[in-house]
Structures are given as C-alpha cells and as structure tokens.
Amino acid sequence: MTEIAREFGVRDQHIAKACDGSDIARPRAGYWQKVEHGKAVPRLELRNDRFAAGDIIAIDASGWSICRS
C-alpha cells in the first residue's frame, strides 16, 4: 500500500481506510515484511464477494468511489 500511495500522491493510511470501507481484502500489517525476510506467514484467501471483475475503485485525496461496469 505504501508504494501505491506514493504513486498516486496519497497516504498509505488513506488506501487502507478505503480498502476497509469498501470491504476490499488486504494483507494484515507486517505481512510483506515477514515475506521479505523469509518468515512463514499464513496465506489467507482474499475473497471478493462484493465487486464484479470490471468494477473500479477510484481513490484520491478526497475519498473513494466505486464505478460499476
């Protein structure tokens, strides 16, 4: 999320809040650091019960919106 936030000029907490508010599954805090250092981490299924494959979640500094296909 840090890389995505940097690319789009928003804070990583904003991306996390948008994901949580839109019920978008995401790895728990520290997941990628553990993977990077070779530690075993449980791999949970990231489910998508709410959105179609063509739906777009638009996130910017003012908030987020869902564009249905």
Q: Which amino acid is at 38?
A: G
Q: Where do we find the tokens 């919106």?
A: 65
Q: Which amino acid is at 47?
A: R
Higher pLDDT, 54 or 34: 34
The answer to whether the predicted template modeling score (pTM) of the entire model surpasses 0.75 is no
Tell me: pLDDT of 14 over 80. Answer: yes
pLDDT bin (cut points 50, 70, 90) of residue 61 is low
- Residue 59 makes CB contacts below 8 A (sequence gap 6+) with 8, 10, 14, 15, 18
Per-residue pLDDT, 39: 92
pLDDT in tens, 41-51: 888 777 777 77
pLDDT in tens, 20-36: 877 777 888 888 889 99
